[in-house]
Amino acid sequence: MKKIAFITLSLLLAVSFWNCEKDDICAEGTPVTPRVIIEFFDAADPETPKNVTNFRVNELGTTNAVVFNPNLDETNLNRFLSNDNKIRIPLKTFQDLSDFEFILNAGSTAETTVSLVFNYERSNVFISRACGYKTIFNLTNVLPTDFTGTWISSLTIEQPNIINENETHIKIYF
C-alpha cells in the first residue's frame, strides 16, 4: 500500500512539474521601442553629412536633456553633448507629440536654439510575454516648417514609420 501511495504521489508531482513553463527572459538584442534617427547634412551640399558641434537636445518644459553617450559618467556634461552627424531621440510613448529644444554650440557664446515639435500616431506591438510591448510611431509632421532666422535651413521626413533604428527618419540641413 505504501508503495502504491509513493508511486501515485511521485506521478502527481512529476505531472505538476511537466506543466510548468520555464521563466521567460527578454533576451538582449530584442527589439524595443525605437528612437527617431535624425541625421544632419550641409545645407550648401545636401548630400554631404555634417557634424553638429556641442549639440544638445532638451525636452521642452523640463530640465531633461537627451543622453547621447550613456557610457560616460552621469555627472559628465559630455554625456549630453553630441559632436556627430546622427542622433537618436526617444519619443513619448504616452502621448502623440514630443517637443524638444535643439541647441547648437551648447554652453558657448554662439549657442543657438530651435524648438521642434514631433507629431505622430502610436501603435503598441506585442513582443513576448517577457518583453511586453514596444511602441512604434508614424510621424505625421515636425513643426515649425519655416526655419527662417534659425540655424536650421530645412528639414525633411525621410521615413515616417519609426519601426526600428536601422534607417534615418529625419534629415536636417544647416
- Per residue of the chain (174 residues), give pLDDT as tens: 666 655 666 665 565 555 545 456 888 888 889 999 999 999 999 999 999 888 989 998 887 788 776 666 656 667 777 888 999 999 999 999 999 999 998 888 888 999 999 999 999 999 888 888 999 999 999 999 899 989 999 999 999 999 999 999 999 999
* 89 is a domain residue: yes
* 126 is a domain residue: yes
What pLDDT score does 66 carry?
84
Q: Which residues contact 162 (CB under 8 A, 6 or more apart)?
A: 34, 35, 36, 91, 120, 136, 137, 138, 139, 169
* 8 is a domain residue: no
Task: Tell me which amino acid residue 10 is.
Answer: S
* 2 is a domain residue: no
* 58 is a domain residue: yes
Partnered with residue 122 across adjacent β-strands are 137
What pLDDT score does 28 carry?
83
DSSP state of 104: E
- Structural domain total, the chain: 1
- Angstrom distance (rounded) from CA 143 to CA 19: 54
What pLDDT score does 72 carry?
63
What pLDDT score does 14 carry?
60
What pLDDT score does 100 carry?
94
* 80 is a domain residue: yes
Domain boundaries, position 96:
37-173
What pLDDT score does 20 carry?
46
Q: Which residues contact 89 (CB under 8 A, 6 or more apart)?
A: 35, 36, 38, 57, 66, 98, 100
* 118 is a domain residue: yes
Tell me the residue length of the chain. 174
* 98 is a domain residue: yes
Q: Residues 104, 110, 111, CA angle at the centre, nearest 5°?
A: 40
